[in-house]
Amino acid sequence: MATTSATTFSIGSTVSFGSRGNPLPQSKPFVARFTSPNSLASFSGLKAATYVNCESESSFFGKESSGALRGSFVPKAQKANQKSQNGLQPVASYKVAILGAAGGIGQPLALLIKMSPLVSALNLYDIANVKGVAADLSHCNTPSQVQDFTGASELGNCLKGVNVVVIPAGVPRKPGMTRDDLFNINANIVKTLVEAVADNCPDAFIHIISNPVNSTVPIAAEVLKQKGVYDPKKLFGVTTLDVVRANTFVAQKKNLKLIDVDVPVVGGHAGITILPLLSKTKPSVNFTNEEVEQLTVRIQNAGTEVVEAKAGAGSATLSMAYAAARFVESSLRALDGDGDVYECSFVQSDLTDLPFFASRIKLGRKGIEALIPSDLSGLSEYEEKALEALKPELKASIEKGIAFVQKQPVTA
């Protein structure tokens, strides 16, 4: 895009800076404007104007609180404005690798990450057909440089110096197939890829999408432990899709403005292990017992809803890519120093008697800064019972993942 003497950098429905599941009280929206005699770096075809506009009500990936904006974006905008006056441009500075980039999730995910202003390099890896994906994406006029890597011999180079690794690789679900049915195939894929991550970028944030997440995250943890590089603060099971679905379904059911809705989802990422905490919905809303049961079941079975609707032609790829991109953007913002980044994720946890558990977390430069235990206090009777009911199944899935690695020692 050609720039003029001043540009608009608008945080709204066009540009994403992620969602914050912020447990703090929400403030009223505000607008921050900064005049700039010079141009800011532009991306995604943003149109020229005479100010920088930041509105707290809207964001490409989710809602922003005005407190978060005042605390994080405004100083950055002022700093960017100062740089532009000195003739400098804001610079994207993070390197992201997608392992499984030619697949149904990988392709739309790569497109969404290519749109991020924080990414300087986007490395795409797959066992085949990734060269064309990279060529296609490279034509998008956004800051990141795209490179393709094909096959095991190029995997190491793909991962060198990477800050965030996203792993959607594996086979998708088909009609009648449970996430557990995917285990034998996807477990070995994740094991092999995480071994390469341990060898080439052990300090990177690792985002596991490959199902069954309840088992593949423990697999990744065991691999990293055997490699001697395990940092539980940097390993994440991406359960953001459960939150995205919960927010969407609740907003539709209660006729709420979607941008305002935030439903924490805890437990795991399969069937009854997915537990939306509807009693913790923000803004506060009342549900009948029937509505709670209907919404909970729909959120738990939403993946099957898509699989059946596609009638053998695939699983939830687009919504998964959207949710994963939101989590990647949140991670990048945290790495960039944003002090107000919250998401739900399946991580090593001590909030329950299970070694891994999905809950809201606070993200920072070094990964997980804190687990948020308050979501698990004051649950409804329905939620308390559901929480106890999911534990045996989630425990079995975790143990299955751990046992898989212990039976197949990691390659030195």
Q: Which amino acid is at 9?
A: F
Q: Token pair of 10, please?
A: 């608008």
CA gap 235, 292 in Å, rounded: 31
Name every residue whose Cβ is closer than 8 Å to that of residue 273 and which is 6 or more positions away in sequence.
Answer: 214, 267, 390, 393, 394, 397
Antiparallel, parallel or unpaired: β 274-276 and 265-267: antiparallel
The question of whether 139 is a catalytic residue gets the answer no
Name every residue whose Cβ is closer than 8 Å to that of residue 408 and which is 6 or more positions away in sequence.
Answer: 188, 191
**Residues 324, 244: contact at Cβ < 8 Å?**
no
- Dmax (CA) of the chain: 63
Beta strand ranges found along 144-287 (DSSP E): 145-150, 164-167, 205-208, 235-237, 265-267, 274-276
Q: Token pair of 320, please?
A: 């998964």
Of residues 269, 333, 360, 395, which has the active-site annotation? 269
Alpha-helical regions (H) of 29-151: 66-68, 74-85, 106-114, 130-137
- 364-391 burial, b at 16+ Cβ within 10 Å, e below that, comes to beebbeebbeebbeebeebbeebbeebb
Name every residue whose Cβ is closer than 8 Å to that of residue 129 and which is 6 or more positions away in sequence.
Answer: 102
Residues tagged active-site: 269
